[in-house]
Amino acid sequence: MKKQKAKVLLAMSGGVDSSVAALLLKKQGYEVIGAFMKNWSDTKDDFGQCTWIGDRKMAMKIASQLNIPLITLDFEKQYRKQVVDEMYKSYSKGITPNPDVDCNNKVKFPLLWRTAKKLGADFIATGHYARIKKIDMKKNVNTKSKSTTKKRGDKYNCELLRAKDESKDQSYFLYRLTSKDLEHSLFPIGDLTKKQVRAIAKKNKFQNFNRKSTTGICFIGKINLKRFLQKKIKPKSGKILDPNGNVIGQHDGIYYYTIGQRIGSRFGIDVNRGNSTQRKWYVASKNPKTNTIIAAPENHKLNFRKEIIIQQPHWINKRPKQGKVLSRIRQVGELLHSTLSYKNGKYKVILKKHITGVSQGQAVVLYSGLQVLGGGIISF
């Protein structure tokens, strides 16, 4: 009797990464079903057309070339409610959230898996630059997610690892997944570099082999964030203070500006620098209660932070032990040597050195070597 192929539902965006992922999965013997997710229809291209339309056309071309089916999944209602609306709420409180984390945790992975189960698929897959280590609990043998063809239901303990290509690693955005999520997930390109992915696409005559990588917010793309926020959050003027408490300017809403953001007329917010010889000034802190921004010149101590409180902690596997870890406060940011501590019900990360640009609401993700331990929301 012919062995039945394991079935996988692959998120295809029209980009080169998910296209190569489809090719690799098919070569590895999977029955591949492509899934284009329509999660946002407000972003337009240069011709006034919704960008998702062009993206889907490209996904359809690649699917046709690979002779795999492509379905379209409309999750826009869920995306607006669980990601965009929540983003507005956070910004209105003066907090800078990370919508890409919510996108993966609340929409992309759970809704894709729900659809996969309806279709009788064993796995879901994406074009993320990350890796999964699956440990077969029956045999206690490590397997790689890109090549396993075991069926759904097999027992694994799964760990999330950083990608081979550190410059493209996306594990930062995946830290809120669970071991159970990873058990039925595949990241086919996690062991490849971006250069290798493009080379594979070119060799197989994919039209998108040199297509520009997407930037900006997940599914929304690169936007003018201030104008985007102003659609829902009305301006509210307030004072800009220097480190000594002197009024040096006015702002039109603390929610439009992020800690670590450069200040200047070309950045949309300026201050009276007085006799300061420092040309570069930055948003050092924000006070939602008084609606004030504290600005400080480059290298001023107010711009630096060493201690971070972790709110809403999430661990992919078991809770890590207190001690040495590596931390990241932004995607593909520097891996910072840190110490994790737990006291009075609170997790705290103490960085080895003071750094700039630590903003409340963003994610701090912790690593042990290549393994992603988990993380949480930055608080002070």
Q: Calculate the average pLDDT of the chain.
A: 91
Q: What is the pLDDT of residues 357-376, one digit of tens each?
A: 999 999 999 999 999 999 99
Q: Are residues 286 and 337 in the same domain?
A: no
Q: Are residues 18 and 135 in the same domain?
A: yes
Q: What is the pLDDT of residues 267-307, one digit of tens each?
A: 788 888 877 777 899 999 999 999 999 999 999 999 999 99
Contact (CB, 8 A) for 228 and 249 = no
Please work out, in degrees rounded to the nearest 5, the angle formed at the alpha carbon of residue 187 by the alpha carbons of 182 and 188. 145
User: Which regions in the chain score pLDDT beneath 70?
Assistant: 1-3, 44-48, 137-156
Q: Quickly count helices (H) and strands (E) in the chain.
A: 9, 19
Q: Are residues 20 and 130 in the same domain?
A: yes
The dihedral built from the CA positions of residue 346, 83, 22 and 123, taken in this order, carries a sign that is: positive
The dihedral built from the CA positions of residue 332, 337, 343 and 348, taken in this order, carries a sign that is: negative
Q: What is the pLDDT of residues 141-183, one digit of tens each?
A: 555 554 444 555 456 689 999 999 999 999 999 999 999 999 9
Residue 300: what residue type? H
From the centroid of its chain, how far is CA 42?
A: 20
How does DSSP assign 149-168, residue by residue? -PPBTB-EEEEEEE-S-TTT
CA distance 200 to 237: 52
Residue 214 lies in a domain: no
Q: Are residues 165 and 246 in the same domain?
A: no
Residue 192 lies in a domain: yes
pLDDT of residue 61: 96
CATH number at residue 271: 2.30.30.280
How does DSSP assign 228-258, residue by residue? HHHTTS----EEEE-TTS-EEEEES-GGG--
Q: Strand, helix or coil at 357?
A: coil
End position of a domain, from candidates 284, 299, 314:
299
Domain that holds residue 93: 7-203
Q: Are residues 288 and 178 in the same domain?
A: no
Q: Are residues 286 and 325 in the same domain?
A: no
Residue 322 lies in a domain: yes
Residue 269 lies in a domain: yes
Residue 45 lies in a domain: yes
CATH number at residue 141: 3.40.50.620
Contact (CB, 8 A) for 283 and 306 = no
DSSP secondary structure code for residue 2 in this structure = P
Q: Which residues contact 21 (CB under 8 A, 6 or more apart)?
A: 10, 125, 126, 127, 187, 188, 189
First to last CA, the chain: 61
- Which residues are designated catalytic? 103, 218
* CA-wise closest residue to 234 among 249, 255, 258: 255
Residue 160 lies in a domain: yes
SS3 helix, strand, coil % of the chain, rounded to 5? 25, 35, 40
Q: Are residues 361 and 318 in the same domain?
A: yes
Q: Are residues 182 and 199 in the same domain?
A: yes
Q: Are residues 98 and 18 in the same domain?
A: yes
CATH number at residue 324: 2.40.30.10
Q: Are residues 336 and 197 in the same domain?
A: no
End position of a domain, from candidates 203, 224, 256:
203
Number of structural domains (the chain) is 3
Q: Are residues 181 and 84 in the same domain?
A: yes
Residue 218 lies in a domain: no
Residue 211 lies in a domain: no
Q: Are residues 254 and 325 in the same domain?
A: no
CA distance 196 to 173: 22
CA distance 282 to 80: 32
Contact (CB, 8 A) for 259 and 359 = yes
Torsion of CA 329, 334, 337, 343, to 10 degrees: 0
pLDDT of residue 56: 94
Strand 238-241, strand 247-251: pairing: antiparallel
End position of a domain, from candidates 299, 319, 342:
299
